[in-house]
């Protein structure tokens, strides 16, 4: 039993020694932390005091920046489309009746005038019918004239005279029918134009379904294209159009809108438009494809240089100088155009915008502004003109 007591006492003593050592280490650690904190605050006070003792002329009062006043520019949108040319007038020529061709009086690419005969069909029977009808008219007229002389004497009845007059009228109508049938045996040009190629030759038999040739009036070319629905309300007849044939990249042509569709296509969501262009040298053929450009002018927006626009997680913004201090103005990008950006925001013409020195600026920071594009001596920077850059144009 005495041995057990001694062992228990030794264990208690060991635990006591370990606890005392842990407490001593904790106290020492806490004291070191307090000393380090006190030293950090002391160094900060010393640094602030040293900065406060620096001469005031060594601290810049304002940041130098280059600025430019805002100018307003109209938002011009250029819409491009693909168009197909067609002749001012175009026709596929068919004969009015069937028959045998006895003469072809034209050649392909020949310019013809309205009413010029193109082909003739065999018309022997029609000529005979005209002669018979003419004879019948002569006889009917002679009979009417004889009865008209006898009618006043009472030798004939009025009814007989009226019958003779009706027969004369019928004979004249039959003559007109015979002449029309004879006229149908010749196919004429319906308007001035250029006739196309034909495969019809003398001796061929043709019907009303046979295409003799095509005839085009190419003095003007109509170009048909589709305009997106969003611009349908901004186009009208007479608006200028720029056109360029795909086969003639060095030739640009000016035309005007001549026709507009009456409704929006529900499938393509576009409006059919036709523009007309002059073709005095006959260089453009129907079927030619064109690149069509239409310019639409919208409202005016502030135009700023691209380098003046910055980005943040809240969107695009610019720095505006007001009474020598900086303001951050958030804007919405409307369109980029030749080094400038049209923006929409609380900006007005004449507002001064920072163009160079935008990095590192803070809201409310004082700045020393100088005009962009000029050095301190007033000379043009980098050889540029002294005049202010013009607003963006489309």
Q: Which domain CATH number covers 356?
A: 2.40.420.20
| pLDDT above 90 as % of the chain | 49
Structural domain contains residue 245 = yes
Mean pLDDT on 34-51: 63
Structural domain contains residue 344 = yes
SS3 210: coil
Whether 134 and 184 map to the same domain: the answer is: yes
Whether 114 and 70 map to the same domain: the answer is: no
- Give 192's DSSP letter: S
Phi, psi of 263 (to 5 degrees): -155, 165
Burial-class residue 273 by CB neighbours within 10 Å (0-12, 13-18, 19+).
Answer: buried
- Give 392's DSSP letter: P
Question: Tell me, what's the pLDDT at 387?
Answer: 38
Whether 223 and 158 map to the same domain: the answer is: no
Question: Tell me, what's the pLDDT at 337?
Answer: 76
Extract the tokens encoding 243.
Answer: 């056109």
Mean pLDDT of the chain: 84
Whether 135 and 232 map to the same domain: the answer is: no
Question: Tell me, what's the pLDDT at 58?
Answer: 46
Whether 103 and 194 map to the same domain: the answer is: yes
Whether 114 and 182 map to the same domain: the answer is: yes
Extract the tokens encoding 162.
Answer: 């009226």
| pLDDT above 70 as % of the chain | 82
Structural domain contains residue 137 = yes
pLDDT score of 392 more than 50: no
pLDDT score of 218 more than 80: yes
Structural domain contains residue 54 = no
Extract the tokens encoding 139.
Answer: 């006889």
Whether 343 and 277 map to the same domain: the answer is: no
pLDDT score of 384 more than 70: no
Structural domain contains residue 250 = yes
pTM: 0.59
Structural domain contains residue 68 = yes
Whether 99 and 197 map to the same domain: the answer is: yes
> For residue 8, what pLDDT band results from cuts at 50, 70 and 90?
low
pLDDT score of 388 more than 80: no
102-144 pLDDT, tens digit per residue, is 999 999 999 999 999 999 999 999 999 999 999 999 999 999 9
pLDDT score of 265 more than 90: yes
Mean pLDDT on 234-252: 91
Buried b (16+ CB within 10 A) or exposed e, 150-185: eeeeeebeeeebeebbebbeebbebbeebeebbeeb
Whether 102 and 195 map to the same domain: the answer is: yes
Q: At which of 168, 184, 206 does a domain end?
A: 206
Of 270, 280, 235, 272, the closest CA to residue 256 belongs to 235
Whether 119 and 197 map to the same domain: the answer is: yes
Q: At which of 299, 322, 353 does a domain end?
A: 299
Mean pLDDT on 160-168: 90
Q: What's the structural domain count of the chain?
A: 4
pLDDT score of 352 more than 60: yes
Q: At which of 206, 239, 267 does a domain end?
A: 206
Structural domain contains residue 174 = yes
Whether 114 and 67 map to the same domain: the answer is: no
CA distance linking residue 251 with residue 242, whole number of Å: 11
What is the domain extent for residue 284? 81-85+211-299
Structural domain contains residue 343 = yes
Lowest mean pLDDT: which of 41-45, 160-164, 324-328?
Answer: 41-45
> For residue 259, what pLDDT band results from cuts at 50, 70 and 90?
very high
Whether 190 and 104 map to the same domain: the answer is: yes
pLDDT score of 252 more than 70: yes
Mean pLDDT on 210-231: 94
Lowest mean pLDDT: which of 44-53, 71-80, 276-285, 375-384?
Answer: 375-384
Question: Tell me, what's the pLDDT at 176?
Answer: 96
């Amino acid at each position: 039993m005495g041995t057990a007591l001694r062992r228990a006492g030794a264990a208690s003593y060991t635990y006591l020694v370990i606890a005392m050592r842990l407490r001593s280490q904790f106290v020492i650690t806490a004291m070191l932390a307090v000393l380090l904190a006190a030293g950090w605050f002391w160094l900060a006070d010393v640094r602030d005091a040293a900065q406060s003792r620096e001469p005031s002329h060594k601290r810049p009062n304002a940041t130098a920046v280059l600025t430019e006043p805002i100018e307003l520019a109209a938002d011009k949108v250029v819409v491009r489309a693909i168009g197909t040319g067609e002749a001012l007038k175009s026709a596929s020529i068919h004969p009015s009746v069937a028959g045998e061709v006895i003469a072809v009086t034209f050649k392909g690419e020949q310019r013809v005038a309205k009413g010029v005969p193109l082909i003739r069909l065999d018309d022997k029977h029609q000529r005979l019918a005209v002669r018979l009808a003419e004879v019948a008219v002569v006889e009917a007229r002679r009979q009417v004239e004889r009865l008209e002389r006898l009618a006043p004497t009472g030798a004939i009845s009025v009814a007989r005279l009226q019958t003779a007059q009706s027969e004369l009228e019928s004979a004249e109508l039959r003559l007109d029918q015979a002449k029309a049938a004879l006229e149908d045996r010749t196919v004429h040009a319906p308007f001035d134009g250029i006739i196309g190629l034909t495969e019809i030759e003398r001796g061929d038999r043709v019907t009303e379904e046979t295409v003799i040739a095509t005839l085009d009036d190419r003095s003007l070319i109509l170009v048909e294209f589709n305009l997106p629905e969003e611009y349908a309300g901004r186009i009208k007849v007479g608006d200028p159009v720029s056109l360029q044939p795909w086969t003639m990249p060095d030739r640009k042509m000016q035309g005007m809108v001549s026709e507009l569709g009456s409704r929006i296509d529900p499938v393509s969501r576009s409006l059919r438009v036709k523009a007309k262009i002059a073709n005095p040298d006959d260089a453009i053929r129907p079927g030619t494809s064109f690149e069509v450009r239409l310019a639409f002018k919208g409202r005016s927006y502030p135009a700023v240089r691209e380098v003046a626009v910055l980005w943040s997680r809240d969107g695009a913004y610019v720095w505006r100088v007001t009474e020598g201090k900086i303001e951050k103005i958030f804007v919405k990008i409307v369109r980029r155009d030749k080094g400038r950006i049209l923006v929409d925001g609380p900006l007005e013409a004449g507002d001064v915008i920072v163009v160079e020195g935008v990095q590192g600026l803070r809201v409310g920071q004082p700045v020393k502004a100088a005009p962009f594009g000029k050095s301190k001596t007033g000379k043009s920077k980098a050889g540029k003109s002294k005049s202010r850059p013009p607003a963006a144009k489309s």
